[in-house]
């Protein structure tokens, strides 16, 4: 909690966001109190069920999805405590809380039990789509029930034959008075149905009869499991759960296969204008992708503290002496005293804390892009949010897996056994690199769209933000060498992009994007060095000024972690740059049988 508050209040300056008119009813003290209450709730109502939900998975039985009883209790609590209503405007019945605070609250919950918050997260996302783009009838009918926790929500995109290729979806919508008849199926629908839920409101992508082919012909519909009859009572809407998917992790978070219109009596209501469905869905995708990164950071954080606690308690072997020998007569030492174990723990620390810092940074950009009074400033932060969204989704997910994997290694053989929790964290986090667009999709978005958007303006603005941190850090003698290293990496980024852009300039976009994923790794490693320099700068400033909000040891630990990141992680970009600028094209399709 200390690290969370340091990042939120000190490093990313929540106060400057709270000064905006939209958030005028909040101050730092009220947010801190809220987070403490969320921590208390999570300790009592989430963490105790973490292993239990893994051992007793959600499952399909007799036409229903059976979930742990805590799911329904959590949805009700989520409505009562404002977990759902937090980001919504006062006009929509919400709490109008800044994204930074909402994500801090969700992070605490996900660190305690990552199987539960997804039910609320998808309800928030679906209700936000209705609140932003729906007509008054849809807003009045669905949003209040959803943000109260009485009704759940989902987003239904994927179909069996289409996968991530949304241009290939075939679910149909045929006009029927002021609504539409929906027919089709959707797979991998998280929180799609479960016993005890009064209603589930699905946001469904479908094609209106006669719509253009591809993504240009996709519309968005509200399709509830139960619709309201003329008397205001719930009746069946011909939405059928035909099965579920048993996953390697997050087993308490149900994933369903749904069929719409099996009896040709499924009614959907159009959201906004026809053929704009994908645009609406993706306008809300920034929040969803931040949420995936946040969840991955939370899982990795839980795993880090589990392996750290183990290392502090487990005696094994003797410390290696300066002579290179061990004294067998000595008592065994705790494994945290072994340098290689400390290296793995420090790697976990820099990944998890750096990832949380990135979550708060993008949340801050999201808040400022919506709340600043002048349009030019809002546009600036929107561009910064756009370029960092694929990074905040990908780095915590991919490196979170690396982090938890190191946690398993810290426990040795016990890490591979179900008696200990590390193996569950590793299974749970693996889906993060797939949720809301795989790593490959995010990487192509970063290099193919975000880096080049508005003639590189987003990248320019991001470089300016990084340079501001470098300039501030140069004022501290201890940080100068690290600031200079980061500056050199910015120059290397320009060199890499210049090399890659030669393919785009020739119209060879397949070659341009062939190594988008290594570019994501290169780019995000530099972004995280920026985060750690920012953290180290704030800690250094606090030490020199005698700041007592946190202990001197706390600040010194942050500086040590920053130094570790710059020594062990940042140098990897040199090899990645060499890879990215190599002219060989070894992954492009050709007549050569490379997989024979």
Which residues are marked as active site?
436
CA–CA dist 33, 42 (Å, integer):
14
CA–CA dist 68, 81 (Å, integer):
20
Burial 29-65 (b: 16+ CB within 10 A, else e): eebbebbeebbebbeebbeebbeebbeebbebeeeeb
Per DSSP, 320 falls in state: P
**Residue 84: strand, helix, or coil:** coil
Among candidate residues 326, 350, 354, the one with its CA nearest the CA of residue 338: 326
Half-sphere exposure of 203 toward its Cβ, with a 13 Å CA cutoff? Answer: 30
What is the chain's pLDDT, residue by residue, as a tens digit (596 residues)? Answer: 999 999 999 999 999 999 999 999 999 999 999 999 999 999 999 999 999 999 999 999 999 999 999 999 999 999 999 999 999 999 999 999 999 999 999 999 999 999 999 999 999 999 999 999 999 999 999 999 999 999 999 999 999 988 777 778 899 999 999 999 999 999 999 999 999 899 999 999 999 999 998 889 999 999 999 999 999 999 999 999 999 999 999 999 999 999 999 999 999 999 999 999 999 988 777 889 999 999 999 999 999 999 999 999 999 988 887 777 777 878 899 999 999 999 999 999 999 999 999 999 999 999 999 999 999 999 999 999 999 999 999 999 999 999 999 999 999 999 999 999 999 999 999 999 999 899 999 999 999 999 999 999 999 999 999 999 999 999 999 999 999 999 999 999 999 999 999 999 999 999 999 999 999 999 999 999 999 999 999 999 999 999 999 999 999 999 999 999 999 999 999 999 999 999 999 999 877 788 87
């Amino acid at each position: 909690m200390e690290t969370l508050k340091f990042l939120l209040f000190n490093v990313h300056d929540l106060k400057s966001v709270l000064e905006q008119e939209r958030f005028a009813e909040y101050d730092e003290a009220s947010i801190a109190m809220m987070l403490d209450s969320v921590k208390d709730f999570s300790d009592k109502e989430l963490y105790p069920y973490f292993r239990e939900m893994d051992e007793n998975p959600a499952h399909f039985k007799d036409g229903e999805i059976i979930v742990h009883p805590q799911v329904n209790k959590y949805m009700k609590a989520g409505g009562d405590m404002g977990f759902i209503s937090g980001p919504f405007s006062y006009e929509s019945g919400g709490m109008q809380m800044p994204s930074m605070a909402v994500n801090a609250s969700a992070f605490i919950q996900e660190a305690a039990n990552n199987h539960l918050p997804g039910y609320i997260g998808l309800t928030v996302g679906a209700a936000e789509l209705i609140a932003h783009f729906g007509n008054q009838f849809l807003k009045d009918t669905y949003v209040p029930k959803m943000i109260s926790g009485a009704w759940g929500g989902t987003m239904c995109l994927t179909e069996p034959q289409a996968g991530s290729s949304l241009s290939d979806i075939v679910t149909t919508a045929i006009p029927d008075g002021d609504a539409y008849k929906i027919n089709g199926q959707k797979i991998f629908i998280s929180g799609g149905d479960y016993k005890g839920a009064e209603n589930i409101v699905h946001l469904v992508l479908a094609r209106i009869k006669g719509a253009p082919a591809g993504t240009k012909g996709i519309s968005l519909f509200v399709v509830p499991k139960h619709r309201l009859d003329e008397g205001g009572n719930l009746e069946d809407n011909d939405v059928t759960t035909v099965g579920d998917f048993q996953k390697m992790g997050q087993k308490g978070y149900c994933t369903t296969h749904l069929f719409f219109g099996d009896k040709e009596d499924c009614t959907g209501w159009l959201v906004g204008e026809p053929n704009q469905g994908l645009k609406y869905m993706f306008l809300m995708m920034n929040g969803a992708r931040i949420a995936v990164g946040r969840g991955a950071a939370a899982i990795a954080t839980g795993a880090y503290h589990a392996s750290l606690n183990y290392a502090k308690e487990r005696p094994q072997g003797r410390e290696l002496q300066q002579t290179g020998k061990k004294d067998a007569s000595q008592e065994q030492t705790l494994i945290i005293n072994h340098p290689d174990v400390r290296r793995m723990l420090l790697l976990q620390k820099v990944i998890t804390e750096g990832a949380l810092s990135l979550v708060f940074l993008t949340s801050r950009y999201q808040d400022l892009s919506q709340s600043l009074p002048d349009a030019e400033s809002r546009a600036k932060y929107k561009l910064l949010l756009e370029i960092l969204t694929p990074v905040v989704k990908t780095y915590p997910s991919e490196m979170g897996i690396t982090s938890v994997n190191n946690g398993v290694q810290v426990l040795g053989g016990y890490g591979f056994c179900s008696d200990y929790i590390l193996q569950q964290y590793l299974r749970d986090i693996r889906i993060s690199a797939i949720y809301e667009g795989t790593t490959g999709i995010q990487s192509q978005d970063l290099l193919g769209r975000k880096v080049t958007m508005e003639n590189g303006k987003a990248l320019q603005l991001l470089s300016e933000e990084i340079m501001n941190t470098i300039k501030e850090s140069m004022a501290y003698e201890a940080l100068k060498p690290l600031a200079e290293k980061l500056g050199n990496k910015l120059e290397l980024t320009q060199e890499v992009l210049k090399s890659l852009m030669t393919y785009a300039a020739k119209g060879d976009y397949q070659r341009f994007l062939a190594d988008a994923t290594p570019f994501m790794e290169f780019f995000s490693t530099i972004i995280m060095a920026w985060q750690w320099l920012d953290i180290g700068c704030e800690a250094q400033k606090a030490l020199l000024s005698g700041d007592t909000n946190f202990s001197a040891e706390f600040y010194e630990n942050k500086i040590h972690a920053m130094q570790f990141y710059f020594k062990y992680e940042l140098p990897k970009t040199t090899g990645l740059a060499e890879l990215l600028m190599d002219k060989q094209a070894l992954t492009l399709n050709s007549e050569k049988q490379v997989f024979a």
